Amino acid sequence: MDSKLKARLIFAKPTDYWLSEKKVERGYWGFVRCREDYEEEKASVKRQFRGLIQSLRGEGIDIELLPEIEIQNTDDLLKNINDMERSDVNVILVTFPMGVWSPGDLTYGIVAASKYAVFFDKFKPNTYAGTLFTPPAYQTLKKHGLASNVFLVEGDMEKLKAILRAIYGLKRISSAKLVCVGPANSAFGGWITFKKGTEIFGYETRFYTYEEFIKDFKSFLKDEKMRKEAMDAVNRFVSESVEVVEPTEENLLRAGIYYLVLKKYLDENEADWISVNCLSQLLEETKATPCFAFSILNDSGIVATCEADPTAMILHYLMQRISGKP
């Protein structure tokens, strides 16, 4: 599954009466009163969002801004509904009353076509956005328990960025593949917590037994080529250290071998997430832990969580994807 977050701007377009070349007499300050008002506001929001997308990419968020859609009436909604459904999140700028009291109103049609919907009320430099229209719509959805995937942002770009980061994390974990050596750790919720996590977030898991890992570890340890590759990884890691205080050469070699076995499992499964129930028979059989491996993997963008902890691994995955940091 594509892990890129696909965001789209949806412009609620005023009826043609409000899009004349001259300002209409019936209009009020703060509302779109001519085509120039609408086009300038639309251009302003698009500039803002291009900047927002660039900022998020700089944080490591893989996000794409899809072509915007304008919705003026029900026909526009029906013609564009498939494209709207293909977005991961639709950010909606409302510039005229789309209706909030009838369940058939355009507001709710746009929400129904959205995996996630964000009503964006923009205050500056103009106030043409739906500051009078979207809060009642949001409250109606909330009242009926339909607002879990709907957000209201009133002029706060940082809040909007936080929402997009969170949605990105949820998309990434839903398509993630976890590699786990050993069973889910019973000290941290065990299989019950593991099952709940997969039900909520939808990720896949490939388990390896202790015996499989021990066999691969010992095989690599006997292989001169793998021993050299393991020490090369270790030497790169410690090359800038002031001093290696506690680990012996043998400790470092075994840590490097541990890393190579885990990397093999990740590559075999095209996975971006791994955990090991390490304080188990693995410790006695390998005389090593995955701490060195996890440090390298986390730095490289792979989420590596200690002790097959089914609670911590979910939080770790989400936080790393949301923050763009290990």
CATH code, 256: 3.40.275.10
Q: Report DSSP state, residue 94.
A: E
- Check whether residue 94 and residue 158 sit in a common domain: yes
Instruction: Look at 120-129, 154-163, 253-262, 269-278 and tell me which has the smallest mean pLDDT.
Output: 120-129
Q: Report DSSP state, residue 321.
A: H
Entry pTM: 0.89
The domain total for the chain is: 2
- Within 10 angstroms of residue 50's Cβ, the number of other Cβ atoms is 11
Q: Report DSSP state, residue 17.
A: G
- Check whether residue 143 and residue 128 sit in a common domain: yes
- Check whether residue 52 and residue 95 sit in a common domain: yes
Predicted confidence at residue 37, as pLDDT, reads 86
- Check whether residue 27 and residue 163 sit in a common domain: yes
For 116, the 3-state DSSP assignment is coil
Average pLDDT over every residue of 123-140? 72
Domain finish residue from 129, 148, 172: 172
- Check whether residue 163 and residue 181 sit in a common domain: no
Which domain does 315 fall in, by range? 177-323
- Check whether residue 123 and residue 219 sit in a common domain: no
- Confirm if 275 and 313 have CB atoms less than 8 A apart: yes
**Exposed, middle or buried, 240 (CB in 10 Å: 0-12/13-18/19+)?**
exposed
- Check whether residue 221 and residue 307 sit in a common domain: yes
Average pLDDT over every residue of 107-125? 87
pLDDT digits (tens, 9 = 90+) for 85-101: 999 999 998 877 776 66
